[in-house]
Amino acid sequence: MNIVVTGGSGFLGKHLCRALLNNGHRVLNLDFHNNPEVTTYQLDVLSQSAISPYFKGAEAVFHLASYIEAGESVENPKKYLENNIMGTLSVLEAMREHNVKKFLFSSSAAVYGEPLRTPIKEDDRTIPINPYGMTKLAMEGLVSSYVQSHGFTGVALRYFNLYGPGEDHKPETHAIPRFIQQMMKNDEVTVWGDGTNKRDYIYIDDVVQAHLLALQLPQGFHYMNLSGRNATGVIDIIHMLEEILHKQAQIKFFPPRPGDPMELFADSSKAKEVLGWEAQVGIQDGLVRSVKWFEEQLTETT
Protein backbone atom coordinates (compact mmCIF):
# COMPACT_ATOMS: atom_id res chain seq x y z
CA MET A 1 0.00 0.00 0.00
CA ASN A 2 1.19 3.55 -0.78
CA ILE A 3 1.11 5.47 2.50
CA VAL A 4 1.79 9.11 3.38
CA VAL A 5 2.85 9.81 6.97
CA THR A 6 2.84 13.36 8.27
CA GLY A 7 5.11 13.89 11.26
CA GLY A 8 7.03 10.73 10.46
CA SER A 9 10.26 12.08 11.93
CA GLY A 10 8.94 12.27 15.49
CA PHE A 11 9.01 9.62 18.19
CA LEU A 12 5.92 7.69 17.09
CA GLY A 13 6.50 8.59 13.44
CA LYS A 14 9.90 6.95 13.26
CA HIS A 15 8.63 3.73 14.84
CA LEU A 16 5.53 3.69 12.64
CA CYS A 17 7.43 4.36 9.39
CA ARG A 18 9.86 1.57 10.26
CA ALA A 19 7.01 -0.85 10.95
CA LEU A 20 5.16 0.09 7.76
CA LEU A 21 8.30 -0.48 5.67
CA ASN A 22 8.93 -3.81 7.41
CA ASN A 23 5.36 -4.81 6.51
CA GLY A 24 5.96 -4.18 2.82
CA HIS A 25 4.28 -0.77 2.46
CA ARG A 26 5.69 2.12 0.43
CA VAL A 27 6.06 5.15 2.69
CA LEU A 28 6.51 8.85 2.09
CA ASN A 29 7.09 11.17 5.05
CA LEU A 30 6.18 14.86 5.32
CA ASP A 31 7.83 16.59 8.27
CA PHE A 32 9.80 19.67 9.28
CA HIS A 33 12.72 17.36 10.06
CA ASN A 34 14.39 14.59 8.09
CA ASN A 35 13.96 10.90 8.85
CA PRO A 36 16.89 9.14 7.14
CA GLU A 37 15.11 5.78 7.26
CA VAL A 38 12.37 6.81 4.82
CA THR A 39 11.83 9.17 1.87
CA THR A 40 11.17 12.51 3.56
CA TYR A 41 10.09 15.89 2.21
CA GLN A 42 10.66 18.68 4.71
CA LEU A 43 7.43 20.65 4.45
CA ASP A 44 4.88 22.40 6.62
CA VAL A 45 1.50 20.64 6.54
CA LEU A 46 -0.19 24.02 6.91
CA SER A 47 0.65 24.68 3.26
CA GLN A 48 -1.85 22.65 1.27
CA SER A 49 -0.32 23.75 -2.03
CA ALA A 50 3.11 22.50 -0.91
CA ILE A 51 2.00 19.11 0.37
CA SER A 52 -0.74 18.29 -2.13
CA PRO A 53 1.45 16.79 -4.92
CA TYR A 54 2.76 14.14 -2.54
CA PHE A 55 -0.73 12.68 -2.02
CA LYS A 56 -1.09 11.63 -5.65
CA GLY A 57 -1.36 7.84 -5.78
CA ALA A 58 -1.56 7.44 -2.00
CA GLU A 59 -3.96 4.90 -0.53
CA ALA A 60 -3.84 5.90 3.14
CA VAL A 61 -2.57 8.73 5.32
CA PHE A 62 -1.30 8.59 8.89
CA HIS A 63 -1.51 12.13 10.27
CA LEU A 64 0.87 12.52 13.20
CA ALA A 65 2.00 16.11 12.59
CA SER A 66 0.66 17.92 15.65
CA TYR A 67 2.00 19.87 18.58
CA ILE A 68 1.53 17.72 21.68
CA GLU A 69 2.46 19.59 24.86
CA ALA A 70 -0.60 20.27 27.00
CA GLY A 71 1.23 22.70 29.26
CA GLU A 72 2.60 24.71 26.36
CA SER A 73 -0.88 24.87 24.81
CA VAL A 74 -2.13 26.69 27.90
CA GLU A 75 0.59 29.32 27.43
CA ASN A 76 0.36 29.52 23.63
CA PRO A 77 -3.08 28.36 22.46
CA LYS A 78 -2.89 30.10 19.08
CA LYS A 79 0.08 27.94 18.05
CA TYR A 80 -1.94 24.80 18.77
CA LEU A 81 -5.15 25.92 17.10
CA GLU A 82 -3.37 27.00 13.94
CA ASN A 83 -1.11 23.98 13.55
CA ASN A 84 -3.28 21.14 14.82
CA ILE A 85 -6.66 22.13 13.41
CA MET A 86 -5.69 23.99 10.25
CA GLY A 87 -2.89 21.51 9.55
CA THR A 88 -5.44 18.69 9.69
CA LEU A 89 -7.74 20.59 7.34
CA SER A 90 -4.85 21.09 4.91
CA VAL A 91 -4.11 17.35 4.88
CA LEU A 92 -7.77 16.40 4.45
CA GLU A 93 -8.17 18.81 1.55
CA ALA A 94 -5.01 17.50 -0.13
CA MET A 95 -6.44 14.00 0.24
CA ARG A 96 -9.78 15.09 -1.23
CA GLU A 97 -7.97 16.67 -4.17
CA HIS A 98 -6.34 13.33 -5.01
CA ASN A 99 -9.22 11.05 -3.99
CA VAL A 100 -7.39 9.50 -1.02
CA LYS A 101 -10.03 8.21 1.38
CA LYS A 102 -8.33 6.56 4.37
CA PHE A 103 -7.21 8.91 7.17
CA LEU A 104 -5.77 7.64 10.46
CA PHE A 105 -4.49 9.95 13.18
CA SER A 106 -3.24 10.26 16.71
CA SER A 107 -5.93 11.64 18.94
CA SER A 108 -5.46 11.81 22.70
CA ALA A 109 -6.83 11.06 26.13
CA ALA A 110 -6.81 14.84 26.55
CA VAL A 111 -10.18 15.00 24.74
CA TYR A 112 -11.84 13.75 27.95
CA GLY A 113 -10.54 16.46 30.27
CA GLU A 114 -11.11 15.65 33.94
CA PRO A 115 -12.95 12.31 33.78
CA LEU A 116 -16.09 11.65 35.80
CA ARG A 117 -14.99 8.04 36.21
CA THR A 118 -12.15 5.69 35.42
CA PRO A 119 -11.53 3.66 33.43
CA ILE A 120 -12.76 6.06 30.76
CA LYS A 121 -14.90 4.70 27.95
CA GLU A 122 -15.00 6.18 24.46
CA ASP A 123 -18.49 7.63 24.79
CA ASP A 124 -17.91 9.28 28.16
CA ARG A 125 -18.15 13.07 28.14
CA THR A 126 -15.47 15.00 26.27
CA ILE A 127 -14.76 18.36 27.91
CA PRO A 128 -11.06 19.18 27.37
CA ILE A 129 -9.39 21.28 30.04
CA ASN A 130 -6.48 22.55 27.95
CA PRO A 131 -6.21 23.90 24.38
CA TYR A 132 -4.22 20.85 23.25
CA GLY A 133 -7.09 18.53 24.17
CA MET A 134 -9.55 20.90 22.54
CA THR A 135 -7.61 20.77 19.26
CA LYS A 136 -7.61 16.97 19.29
CA LEU A 137 -11.37 16.89 19.84
CA ALA A 138 -11.83 19.44 17.05
CA MET A 139 -9.64 17.31 14.78
CA GLU A 140 -11.89 14.33 15.50
CA GLY A 141 -14.95 16.38 14.59
CA LEU A 142 -13.32 17.60 11.41
CA VAL A 143 -12.40 14.07 10.33
CA SER A 144 -15.91 12.83 11.15
CA SER A 145 -17.36 15.53 8.90
CA TYR A 146 -15.20 14.35 6.00
CA VAL A 147 -16.37 10.79 6.62
CA GLN A 148 -19.97 11.95 6.32
CA SER A 149 -19.51 14.44 3.50
CA HIS A 150 -16.90 12.74 1.32
CA GLY A 151 -17.04 9.03 2.11
CA PHE A 152 -13.71 8.91 3.95
CA THR A 153 -12.59 6.26 6.39
CA GLY A 154 -11.48 8.12 9.51
CA VAL A 155 -9.71 6.57 12.49
CA ALA A 156 -8.96 8.43 15.73
CA LEU A 157 -6.74 6.50 18.12
CA ARG A 158 -6.96 8.00 21.60
CA TYR A 159 -3.91 6.94 23.52
CA PHE A 160 -2.44 8.13 26.73
CA ASN A 161 1.16 8.55 27.87
CA LEU A 162 3.25 7.05 25.09
CA TYR A 163 6.81 6.04 26.01
CA GLY A 164 9.66 3.78 24.98
CA PRO A 165 13.08 3.61 23.28
CA GLY A 166 13.81 6.52 20.97
CA GLU A 167 11.83 9.11 22.92
CA ASP A 168 14.21 12.03 23.15
CA HIS A 169 12.52 15.40 22.67
CA LYS A 170 14.55 18.58 22.87
CA PRO A 171 13.79 19.96 25.36
CA GLU A 172 12.40 16.85 27.02
CA THR A 173 9.03 17.48 28.66
CA HIS A 174 7.60 13.96 28.89
CA ALA A 175 7.84 12.35 32.28
CA ILE A 176 9.50 8.97 31.68
CA PRO A 177 12.40 10.03 29.40
CA ARG A 178 12.92 13.14 31.53
CA PHE A 179 13.11 11.10 34.73
CA ILE A 180 15.52 8.62 33.16
CA GLN A 181 17.87 11.32 31.89
CA GLN A 182 17.73 13.30 35.13
CA MET A 183 18.52 10.23 37.21
CA MET A 184 21.31 9.08 34.89
CA LYS A 185 22.93 12.52 35.20
CA ASN A 186 22.30 12.69 38.98
CA ASP A 187 20.20 15.80 38.43
CA GLU A 188 17.11 16.74 40.40
CA VAL A 189 14.03 14.82 39.29
CA THR A 190 11.34 17.42 38.62
CA VAL A 191 7.76 16.58 39.55
CA TRP A 192 4.73 18.87 39.18
CA GLY A 193 2.30 18.27 42.02
CA ASP A 194 2.86 15.76 44.79
CA GLY A 195 3.54 12.78 42.52
CA THR A 196 0.18 11.10 43.09
CA ASN A 197 -1.06 11.95 39.58
CA LYS A 198 -1.87 8.71 37.79
CA ARG A 199 -1.41 8.12 34.10
CA ASP A 200 -2.06 5.34 31.64
CA TYR A 201 1.43 4.70 30.23
CA ILE A 202 1.51 2.78 26.96
CA TYR A 203 4.56 1.33 25.24
CA ILE A 204 5.51 2.49 21.74
CA ASP A 205 5.41 -0.96 20.09
CA ASP A 206 1.85 -1.53 21.29
CA VAL A 207 0.66 1.77 19.82
CA VAL A 208 2.40 1.07 16.50
CA GLN A 209 0.69 -2.33 16.31
CA ALA A 210 -2.71 -0.69 16.80
CA HIS A 211 -1.98 1.72 13.94
CA LEU A 212 -1.10 -1.17 11.62
CA LEU A 213 -4.28 -3.05 12.52
CA ALA A 214 -6.39 0.07 12.01
CA LEU A 215 -5.43 0.13 8.32
CA GLN A 216 -7.96 -2.67 7.80
CA LEU A 217 -10.98 -0.81 9.18
CA PRO A 218 -13.91 -0.30 6.78
CA GLN A 219 -15.46 2.98 5.63
CA GLY A 220 -16.81 5.09 8.48
CA PHE A 221 -15.55 7.02 11.49
CA HIS A 222 -13.84 4.92 14.16
CA TYR A 223 -12.58 6.20 17.50
CA MET A 224 -11.11 4.11 20.28
CA ASN A 225 -8.87 4.17 23.32
CA LEU A 226 -5.47 2.53 23.43
CA SER A 227 -4.75 1.74 27.05
CA GLY A 228 -1.75 0.30 28.85
CA ARG A 229 -4.22 -1.46 31.19
CA ASN A 230 -3.15 0.13 34.48
CA ALA A 231 -2.88 3.64 35.85
CA THR A 232 0.50 4.25 37.47
CA GLY A 233 1.40 7.08 39.83
CA VAL A 234 4.22 9.44 38.85
CA ILE A 235 5.99 8.70 42.12
CA ASP A 236 5.68 4.95 41.44
CA ILE A 237 7.39 5.40 38.06
CA ILE A 238 10.28 7.11 39.84
CA HIS A 239 10.56 4.31 42.39
CA MET A 240 10.63 1.69 39.62
CA LEU A 241 13.38 3.64 37.85
CA GLU A 242 15.34 3.81 41.10
CA GLU A 243 15.36 0.01 41.20
CA ILE A 244 16.27 -0.36 37.52
CA LEU A 245 19.04 2.25 37.64
CA HIS A 246 20.18 1.38 41.17
CA LYS A 247 20.05 5.08 42.06
CA GLN A 248 18.26 7.25 44.58
CA ALA A 249 16.21 9.98 42.90
CA GLN A 250 16.66 13.51 44.18
CA ILE A 251 13.06 14.64 43.73
CA LYS A 252 12.10 18.32 43.57
CA PHE A 253 8.38 19.08 43.71
CA PHE A 254 6.77 22.03 41.94
CA PRO A 255 3.17 23.33 42.03
CA PRO A 256 0.71 21.38 39.88
CA ARG A 257 0.43 22.53 36.26
CA PRO A 258 -2.86 24.11 35.13
CA GLY A 259 -4.97 21.88 32.91
CA ASP A 260 -3.42 18.68 34.28
CA PRO A 261 -5.98 16.04 35.43
CA MET A 262 -5.23 13.98 38.54
CA GLU A 263 -6.01 10.67 36.86
CA LEU A 264 -6.36 9.45 33.28
CA PHE A 265 -6.97 5.75 32.74
CA ALA A 266 -8.89 4.20 29.88
CA ASP A 267 -10.93 1.15 29.05
CA SER A 268 -9.59 -0.25 25.77
CA SER A 269 -12.07 -3.10 25.35
CA LYS A 270 -13.38 -1.46 22.16
CA ALA A 271 -9.93 -1.74 20.56
CA LYS A 272 -9.86 -5.41 21.53
CA GLU A 273 -13.27 -5.99 20.00
CA VAL A 274 -12.74 -3.95 16.82
CA LEU A 275 -9.03 -4.45 16.14
CA GLY A 276 -8.20 -7.57 18.13
CA TRP A 277 -5.66 -5.40 19.94
CA GLU A 278 -4.40 -5.45 23.53
CA ALA A 279 -1.33 -3.87 25.10
CA GLN A 280 1.39 -6.49 25.49
CA VAL A 281 4.21 -4.66 27.26
CA GLY A 282 3.78 -3.93 30.97
CA ILE A 283 5.17 -0.82 32.61
CA GLN A 284 8.08 -2.57 34.37
CA ASP A 285 9.27 -4.27 31.18
CA GLY A 286 8.76 -1.08 29.18
CA LEU A 287 10.84 0.96 31.63
CA VAL A 288 13.66 -1.59 31.50
CA ARG A 289 13.71 -1.38 27.68
CA SER A 290 13.61 2.43 27.78
CA VAL A 291 16.49 2.66 30.26
CA LYS A 292 18.53 0.25 28.13
CA TRP A 293 18.08 2.50 25.09
CA PHE A 294 19.23 5.60 26.98
CA GLU A 295 22.23 3.73 28.36
CA GLU A 296 23.17 2.67 24.83
CA GLN A 297 22.93 6.28 23.64
CA LEU A 298 25.20 7.37 26.47
CA THR A 299 27.74 4.68 25.57
CA GLU A 300 27.74 5.75 21.92
CA THR A 301 28.49 9.38 22.80
CA THR A 302 31.29 8.70 25.29
Q: Which domains does the chain have, with CATH numbers?
A: 2-300 (3.40.50.720)
- The upper half-sphere exposure of residue 122, i.e. CA atoms within 13 Å in the direction of its Cβ, equals 17
What is the mean predicted confidence (pLDDT) over 251-276? 89
What is the mean predicted confidence (pLDDT) over 210-221? 98
Q: What is the pLDDT of residue 35?
A: 97
What is the mean predicted confidence (pLDDT) over 88-95? 98
pLDDT at 109 over 70: yes
Q: What is the pLDDT of residue 173?
A: 73
pLDDT band at 259 (very low <50, low <70, confident <90, very high): low
What is the mean predicted confidence (pLDDT) over 58-85? 95
* DSSP sequence for the chain: -EEEEETTTSHHHHHHHHHHHHTT-EEEEEESS--TTSEEEE--TT-HHHHGGGGTT-SEEEE------HHHHHH-HHHHIIIIIIHHHHHHHHHHHTT--EEEEE--GGGSBS-SSSSBPTTS--B-SSHHHHHHHHHHHHHHHHHHHH--EEEEEEE-EEE-TT---SS--SHHHHHHHHHHTT-EEEEESSS--EE-EEEHHHHHHHHHHHTT--SEEEEEEE--SS-EEHHHHHHHHHHHHT---EEEEEPPPTT--SB--B--HHHHHHH-------HHHHHHHHHHHHHHHHHHT-
Q: What is the pLDDT of residue 298?
A: 77
What is the mean predicted confidence (pLDDT) over 45-64? 98
pLDDT band at 176 (very low <50, low <70, confident <90, very high): very high
pLDDT at 302 over 60: no
Least-confidence region, from 17-26, 92-101, 255-264: 255-264
Contacts of 126 (CB under 8 A, 6+ apart): 111, 112, 113, 137
The one-letter code for the residue type at 273 is: E
Q: What is the pLDDT of residue 37?
A: 97
Q: What is the pLDDT of residue 172?
A: 63
Q: What is the pLDDT of residue 171?
A: 65
What is the mean predicted confidence (pLDDT) over 78-97? 98
pLDDT greater at residue 244 or residue 297: 244
Q: What is the pLDDT of residue 147?
A: 98
Decide if 115 contacts 64 (C-beta within 8 A).
Answer: no
> Which phi and psi angles does 194 have, rounded to 5°?
-95, 10
Least-confidence region, from 13-22, 57-66, 256-265: 256-265
pLDDT at 258 over 80: no
Active site residue 146: no
Mean pLDDT estimate for the chain: 94
Contacts of 85 (CB under 8 A, 6+ apart): 135, 138, 139, 142
pLDDT at 207 over 60: yes
pLDDT at 106 over 70: yes
Catalytic residue among 80, 112, 132, 203: 132
What is the mean predicted confidence (pLDDT) over 96-115? 95
pLDDT at 170 over 80: no
**Which of 90-104, 109-123, 155-169, 262-276 ranks highest by mean pLDDT?**
90-104
Q: What percent of the chain has pLDDT over 70?
A: 97
pLDDT band at 114 (very low <50, low <70, confident <90, very high): confident
Q: What is the pTM of this model?
A: 0.94
Q: What is the pLDDT of residue 67?
A: 95
pLDDT at 266 over 70: yes
pLDDT band at 86 (very low <50, low <70, confident <90, very high): very high
CA distances to 69, 134, 227 from 76, in Å: 10, 13, 28
